[in-house]
Structure formats: structure tokens, C-alpha cells
Amino acid sequence: MYHLVKYCLVWFLIFHGTIAFSQSQQDVQLAQQYFKNAEYDKAAAMYEKLVNKAPENQFFYQNYIQSLTALKRYGEAEKYIKKQIKRFPADLSYYVELGNIKHLQGDEKSAAGNYKEAIGLITTDMEMVNRLAFKFQSNSLDSYAIEAYLRARKIFNAENSDLFKAELASLYRKQGDVSSAVKSYLDIIEFNPTMADEVEGQLQPFIESADFAKELQAELYRRIQKRSEIGIFGEMLIWYYIQKKDFASAFLQVKALDKRNKEEGERVFQFAQSAFDEGNYDAALLAYRYIIDAKGKNSFLYPAARASELTTEKTKITIQHTYTPDDLRGLEQKYESYIQEFGKTGQTAVTIRDFANLQAKYLHNVEKAITILQEAINIPTNDKKLLGYLKMDLGDYYLIKNEVWEATLLYSQVDKSFKDDDLGEEARFKNAQLSFYMGDFEWSQVQLDVLKGSTSELAANDALALSVFMTDNMGLDTSTVPMEMYARAALLIFQNKFDDAVKTLDSITVIFPKNSLDDDVLFSKGRIYLAQQKYSDAAALFEQVDEHYSTDLLADDALFQLAELYESYLDDKNKAMELYKSILLKYKGSIYVVEARKRFRDLRGDEVN
């Protein structure tokens, strides 16, 4: 009998507990529905019951207070918040809630008093500080959040630490207090230099703002002068100048640090590489020449600096289409001097390869280029990939010489030796391109179809571009003659036989007027004239592509080339701005949109605020 009674009692408790839980869930759902429907009087009544049962439940509490404030029952809201303060004295965010009620009633003095009271009650409870500061921020009371963090720093005796400095920096920046924001960011680094990269990442989006940049530069100088023993600020000043693309000033600072710290030049060398990557060849040359002159031949960096100086000077001269024959001959002498000094070894093979490129592509001495590479290929080296590049270049120079069989043989050797490497796929593309030059379009397409799925992004993109070009310009034509003529012209361009290439291109438009290749002919001639430094002639052709073939694939390419011509060679910045803007308006899906927008803003002198 006893066990039966006990059994029934247990089931009675379970049954009624289940009913109570079910009822509670229904109450929560009903309260939420009332709140969602803005039936705040009913929601307040429901949430009052719920929050009294579970005063620690912030969801119930927040919806209850919001319902009361929506009904303007401020007295009830204030009374309940004060209850919560007594229940949970360590949670200072309730004082912010209380201040908010006063604010809603227009009593700003009392509201401020509540906020100040909360700040005055801060202790060494880290969670309490963060909760209070977050509450201030969520109520758009950033100035009080700043006060809270500053008060907490005093309580924690954190004058010599970066405690809460990141939070303060963010709040100062948000308020537009540039000076305090910059100081807080630099304080972080001063107390913890390992945070430099993270702080630079935080600062980078704002460095284009004139006010922010000016303040950062001034504060860095102040700290360098005041705390010269802290080298991180000198390094950060270099970073600042590089972000501002002021490589000349950055170099002066890099050089100063190298001398002050009696370094071996590694910092200068790294800077030179960064300047080169950013296209600032003058600054890179200054840095490499500093290593060469100041560190001397006994420096372990001397050989690399000499080689990099040559690469940089060659790139600077050739990339801008403004070089003279004297520039090229002077560079040739420097390469010969380098090879005489360092010899022909595995360590100098990369520079020798560069020298061969200068001979073949710019001095038009292809025989000398071939001889240089043949000798380089016989240099003992463990760098098999470099050997592959040397052979592929040699194939290019045989093709310039019009020895097609030798070229394809070399490309095939590289393809076979580097079957599963990007280099092999690049060689494969060269063979496909060679088939195109020779007019064997069907075989070229077969090779290109395989390359479209290449793991090498460069080879895949090149293959796709050439494949699409052939498909677009041969699909509807009954004759392949125009394409054969264009392919011959493309080979002549590759061989630097520009006058012959122009004649061949002109023949296409004469023999086959209104051909699908018309825009390609104009664009190719424009590129030839640019290489020949005939800037006005090139501009006229790119303008024709933009004007008459705006719906074709080359339209945005031509417009961007035209804008670059006016910016860099024809000295008409306003015209260049107009053209860059035109790209943004006419070709919104173009790959040039991002760069065009950047150049337009740079020319206009925009600043990010």
C-alpha cells in the first residue's frame, strides 16, 4: 500500500510540473506575441509576471521595461529598475537604464547623475567595466563609455599598461577626436610592441584622411624624439610613409634607422623590394645603391643589391615606353660590368637571363640573346625550374628569329620536364599560341581546350582569351584568310617587326573591309604605336575603338589604354580623369573598374575622411 501511494505521488508531481512548465511556455509565447504586435499594455502585464518569477532573465526584463516606456509608464519602469539594482548591485548597467528613463522624461540632469553614479561605483571587476561601457555605447552614450574606461584605468592602476586603450582608441575615433585616438593607438604599441601589426591594421583604413594622417605623423615624430630608445615608432613611421606612397621620405627614415642601429642593410633591402613591388623604382634604386655604396663589396647583401639594381633599372626604363637608345646602351654596359664582376654561375643566372631579354626584346640583338642563353643553360645549377625558364626564353628568341621548329622543340622539352607544374602549362600555352601564329587554328583550339582547365590561373586565362578570340572571329566566316593574316601580324609583333606588322594589319582592312577583326586591328596598331612611342597616333586608334566598337570585347581595354596615355604621356590630367570616369559609367563590369576609380580619385585629389 505504501509503495502504491508513493508511486501515485510521484506521478502527481510530474503531471502537475509538466502542466506548470507548459503553462509557463504558453505565457512566454503570448507575451512575445503581444510585444511583437505592439500591444504593450498586455505585454507589460505578461512580462511583469514572468520577470518577477525570473528577475535574472534579461530578455524578460528588457521587454518589460520597453513595454512600460512605450506606454510612458515611467514611474513603474523606474521603480522596477531600482529593484533590480538592489538585487544585482554588481551590474552597473541598470544605472544606465535608470538614466535612460530620466532622459525620456526630459530630466537630463538626473540622467547624467545616474550615469556618473555608475561610473563612480566601478571596481576592479573587469566584466563589470566591460558590461557598463557596452551599455553606454548601445545607448549612444560614447562619452560616458570613455569616462568609464578612464575611471577603470585608474582603479586598476593601469597608467603603465595598454588596458582598455584599444577600446578608448575606437571610441575616440568614432567621436572624431583624432588626437586622442592616435595617442591611444600608439600607447598600445608603446606598452606592447608585439601589437604593432594589429594596430597598423586598425589604422590603415583611416590613413587616407588628411587630418588623421597629419596627426599620426606628428605624434610619431613626437614619440621618436621623446622616446628614441623605442625603435618601434621609427619602424611605424616607415610604414606610415609607405602607406602614403611617400617612398622618398620612407627611404630617409629607413636609412636613418640602419645607421643609428648599426645594421647590415637588411631593413633597407626589404624596403627596396617593397618599393619595387609598388612600382616606385626610383626609391628602390636609392635603397639598392645605398647598400652597394655604404656597405661595400664585403657585405653579404652586395651581390643581391647589384643584381636587384639592374632588374629595377631595366624595369623602370622599359615599362614606361619612354626610353632612348642611349638608355638601353647604358643599361647594356651595366649588365656586362655585372657579369664581368660576378662571373657566369648559378647565382648570377637569373641576371644573365634578364640580360638576354634586354638584348632580344629591346636592343633587337637576338643572336646575342641566343648565345647568352645557350651559355647560361650549360651553367651547373640545382635550380631545375630556372633551367626550364631559360629554355622557354630561348624558344621565344628562336621564334623571334623565325626558327619555328627550334622554338616548338624547346617549348615541348619544358612541357615534358614540368608536366604537373605551372611552368609546364605555360610552355604548353606557348605551343598552342605558336600553332595560332602558324595558322593551324584547329590544332591550336585542341590544345587551348585542354589548357582552359589548367591549375595555372595565368595559363588558363590566356588560353581562354585566345580561344574566345578565335571562336568569335571565325565562327561565321567562310574564309580563314583574315584570321591567318591577323595571326601573321601577331607573330610579327612578337618578333618586334612593328612596321611589317602594321602593313599586314592594314592589308586586312583593305582586302576585307568591315571584318569582325576591325577592332582588333585598331587595338593592335595602337599597342604597336605605344611601343614605338608614337603616343598621339596610339591615342587616335584607341579612341576609334571606343567610339565605333563600344560593345566589343576590347572596348574597355582601349578606353583604359587611352586614359593611361593622357595621364602618363600626353600630359592631360583632366582628359585622363574624364576617361577613367567614362570607364566607371560605360563598363561597370570591367576588370578595370577598381583601378579606374582609384586613378580618377587620385587625379581629383580625393581624401577619405
Cell 636609392 belongs to residue:
286
Q: Tell me how far apart the alpha carbons of residues 230 and 149 are, in angstroms, rounded to a whole number.
A: 26
Q: Is residue 410 part of a domain?
A: no
Contact yes or no for 395/373 (Cβ under 8 A):
no
Residue 81 has pLDDT above 50, yes or no: yes
**Cell 510612458 found at:** 72
Res 24 pLDDT > 80: no
The cell numbers describing 254, all together, are 629607413
Is 328 a member of any domain?
no
Could you give the percent of the chain with pLDDT greater than 70? 95
Angle in degrees, CA 13, 17, 19, rounded to 5: 120
Examine residue 191 and state whether it is found in any structural domain, yes or no. no
If one compares 31 and 308, the residue with the highest pLDDT of the two is 308
Look at residue 456 in the predicted model and tell me its pLDDT: 77
In the structure, what pLDDT confidence band is assigned to residue 6 with cuts at 50, 70 and 90? very low
pLDDT of residue 476: 52
Query: What is the rounded average pLDDT of the residues 393-417?
Result: 96
337, pLDDT greater than 90 = yes
d(CA 135, CA 128): 11
**What does the pLDDT read at residue 607?**
56
In this predicted structure, what is the pLDDT of residue 452? 82
- Of the chain, the percentage scoring pLDDT greater than 90 comes to 68
| Residue that wins the pLDDT comparison between 27 and 249 | 249
Using 50, 70 and 90 to split pLDDT, how confident is the model at 15? very low
- Give the pLDDT of residue 534: 94
Cell of 199: 594596430
Amino acid of residue 208: E
Summary mean pLDDT of the chain: 89
Mean pLDDT confidence for 384-394: 96
Q: Which domain holds residue 532?
A: 481-604
List, as one string, the DSSP characters of 103-143.
HHTT-HHHHHHHHHHHHHT--S-HHHHHHHHHHHHHTT-HH
Helix-helix angle 142-155:108-120, to 10 degrees: 30
Asked if pLDDT for residue 477 goes beyond 70, the answer is: no
Query: Do residues 87 and 55 make contact, with C-beta atoms less than 8 angstroms apart?
Result: yes
58 in any annotated domain: no
Whether 347 has a pLDDT exceeding 60, the answer reads: yes
pLDDT classification of 491: cutoffs 50, 70, 90: very high
List the Cα angle 532/535/540 in 5-degree steps: 120
pLDDT of residue 606: 67
Q: Is the pLDDT of residue 323 over 90?
A: no
Which pLDDT score is estimated for 7?
Answer: 45
Whether residue 516 lies inside any domain: the answer is: yes
Give domain status of residue 490, yes or no.
Answer: yes
Tens-place pLDDT, residues 161-188 = 899 999 999 999 999 999 999 999 999 9
CA-wise closest residue to 239 among 257, 261, 263, 265: 257
- Is 418 inside a domain boundary? no
Q: First CA to last CA across the chain, in angstroms?
A: 84
Q: Is residue 543 part of a domain?
A: yes
pLDDT at residue 322, as a whole number? 80
pLDDT, position 457: 81
Query: What is the C-alpha separation between 91 and 56, in angstroms, rounded?
Result: 11
H helices then E strands: how many in the chain?
Answer: 32, 0
Give the pLDDT confidence score for residue 475 in this predicted structure.
61
Q: What is the mean pLDDT of residues 586-608?
A: 83
User: Shortest CA distance to 25 belongs to which of 53, 67, 64?
Assistant: 53
Check pLDDT > 50 for residue 5. Answer: no
598 or 305, which is more confident? 305
Give me the CATH number covering residue 571.
1.25.40.10
Is a pLDDT exceeding 90 seen at residue 598?
Answer: no
Amino acid in position 58: Q
Residue with cell 528613463: 101
pLDDT for position 169: 93
387 SS3 class? helix
Query: Which region among 111-125, 336-350, 459-473 has the lowest average model confidence (pLDDT)?
Result: 459-473
DSSP sequence for 204-258 = GGGTTSHHHHHHHHHHHHHHHHH-TT-THHHHHHHHHHHHTT-HHHHHHHHHHHH
**Domains identified in the chain, total number:** 1
Q: Which is higher by pLDDT, 227 or 42? A: 42
Give the mean pLDDT of 345-371. 95
Q: Is it the case that residue 219 has pLDDT exceeding 60?
A: yes
Helices 481-494 and 498-511 pack at an angle, to 10 degrees, of 170
> Grid coordinates standing for 538?
596610339
Residue 406 has pLDDT above 70, yes or no: yes
